[in-house]
Amino acid sequence: MKEPTPFRPVSYLEWNAARRGTRAALWEAGDEITLEVLLDHVRRFEKLLAARGVEAGDVVGVQLPNVWQYVALELAIPDLGAVILPLPGGLGRHELQWITEKTRPRMVIGAGELEELASASAGGLPAPPIASPDPTRVAEIALTSGTTGMPKLASLSARLKQVTFESFTERLQITEEDRALPMTPLTQGIGGMCLYCLRRGAALVMLRDPHWTAEHCLAVAAESRATMMVGVPTNVIRMLNHPLPAATSLRAVAVAGAPLPPEIAERWETTTGVPISSFYGSMDAGQLAVASPSDPRALRWTTVGRPHDRAEWRILDGEICMRGDLVQDRYWGETSGPYSSDGWAHMGDLGFVDESGYLHVVGRVKDIIIRGGTNINPYEVESMLRGHPRIVDACVVARPDAELGELPVAFVVTRDGFEPSRQELDAFLQEQGLARYKWPVVVRRLDELPLSGPGKVNRKALRENARAL
C-alpha cells in the first residue's frame, strides 16, 4: 500500500480510503460519508472544475458554510495545482469586490454554483492532470483578521500547511478514532485547522448552520459522538451557560483566536470533566504552539503549550516573534511578508516562555492601557472581573483622558440582568487585591461582547463606545 505523499493532501485520503474505506470521513445531519465516497466526490469535483477551465495556478474562491462539499473542494482545488481562496460567509459586497480584484479568481463557488456542480454529470469527462507535490507552491490564500482597513491576504504554501498539519495533529493527539467538530467556519483559520485531522484518518463533523449556537453545537456533538471540539473561547463561555450533558464522547476541547481565561478553563473542566487546552498563532505569521490534552491542568489553563519542534521563536522586548517553515514567505500580490527588518515576524502579543518550555501569552502590545505612565494589562483586569459570581464575560479598553492619558473602561456580560455599579465592582476588585489604578472608572453592561472575527472581541468598537461615555 502506497504511503501518503507529503505536500499532496489528497494522497492521505487515498491512503486512508485504501486501508479503511468504509469508515466515516464526514458526519453531517445524521448521515455519514465514508472515506471511499469522499474520495469519489473529490475526483468528481476535479473533473468538473477542470471542465470549467480551472488550471494549475488559478485561484478558486469558495464561500460555503461547514458542509461536506467544502471539505471535498478544499482537497480537489489544490490537487489540480490551483489555489483555494476560502471566503467567510459574513463578507460584505465591498470586501468581496476588493478581495476578488486582488486575487482574480477563475470562479467563486457559492450556494448557487455548488448546486450547478452537484447536478452536473462527470460521466465521460477525462481525469485531469494532477499537480506534482511542490512544497513551495501556494495552495491557499487566507484572509488575515485586521480590525482596521482591508485584510492582507496570506499565501500558505504546501510546506507551511504540511508542517502545520504534522505539528497540530501530533500535539492534539489526533488519531483515526477521533471525530473532530469545528465550532467556527472552515473558511476561517481556526475552523480550517480541523481539516488537518482528516489526513490522520479522523472524521469531521459538520454543523451546516452558518449561525453558531450553543444548543445546536451541543446537540450535534452528542448525536455525532464527537470526540474533539475546536473553536474559540467565546464558544466555550456560551456553552457553559446552557445545560451540559452528563455523559459525553468528548475527550478534549481546543480553542484559539483569543486568550482562554483560566477561570473559564477551570469552570469548563470542573463542569464537564473534559480537558481543555489552547493553541496559538496568526494568519499573518503562522501557528507557533499547541497545548496537548495530556499536559498538566495548570499548564493547559494558563499557557498555549510548547512551541512546535519545527518553529523558530524569540521573545524580543517582551513580544513573541517567529520565523521559519511555519511562516508565510509573502502576502498574496505583494513582494513582502510578515517579516520585519530584524528578520522576525512580530506577533503583536506579549509573552514569555517558562522554565518548562511552555509559552504564556499575557496580552496584546496595542491593547496595553497606559494610565499616568503606568501600564495596565486589560487581560488581568478582565480575568478578575470574570471571577465575580454574576459576571459571565468582560472586556476592558482604554478611554482617552486629558490628564492621565488613558483610563480603563469595562464592558461586562452578566447573569440574570445583573446591573453592576462601579462601587460594587470597586469593592469586589479591592477584595481580590487588584491595585487601585487598574480599576475601571466606568462599567457598562452588554447583552454580549461584539466580535470582529471568530472569537475575537472587537476592542476597536468598544474603544469607540468608551470614548462616548
Residue 119 dihedral angles phi and psi, to the nearest 5°? -90, -10
CA distance 362 to 348: 11
The model's pTM: 0.86
Q: Which pLDDT score, from 0 to 100, does residue 145 have?
A: 62
CATH code for 9-362?
3.40.50.12780
Strand partners, 94: none
Q: Give the residue range(s) of CATH 3.40.50.12780 domains in the chain.
A: 9-362
- What is the predicted pLDDT for the residue at 152? 87
Q: If DSSP codes are grouped into helix, strand and coil, which group holds residue 117?
A: helix
Question: Which helix (H) or strand (E) segment is 430 a member of?
Answer: helix 422-432
- As averages over each run of 10 residues, the pLDDT of the chain (469 residues) reads 92 98 98 98 97 97 97 98 94 86 97 92 94 97 69 94 97 98 94 97 96 95 97 90 85 92 93 96 92 97 96 95 95 93 94 97 88 87 93 95 90 92 93 92 95 81 93
Q: Are strands 276-282 and 286-290 parallel, antiparallel or unpaired?
A: antiparallel
Cell reading at 55: 488550471
- Please, what is the Cα angle at 137 between 40 and 146, to 5 degrees? 100
Q: List where CATH 3.30.300.30 sits in the chain.
A: 368-467
**What topology does CATH give the domain 368-467?**
GMP Synthetase; Chain A, domain 3 (3.30.300)
Rounded to a whole number of angstroms, the CA Rg of the chain reads 23
From 191, 242, 224, 251, select the one nearest 64 (Cα to Cα): 191
Across the chain, which distance is largest between two alpha carbons, in Å?
Answer: 76
Model pLDDT, residue 67: 97
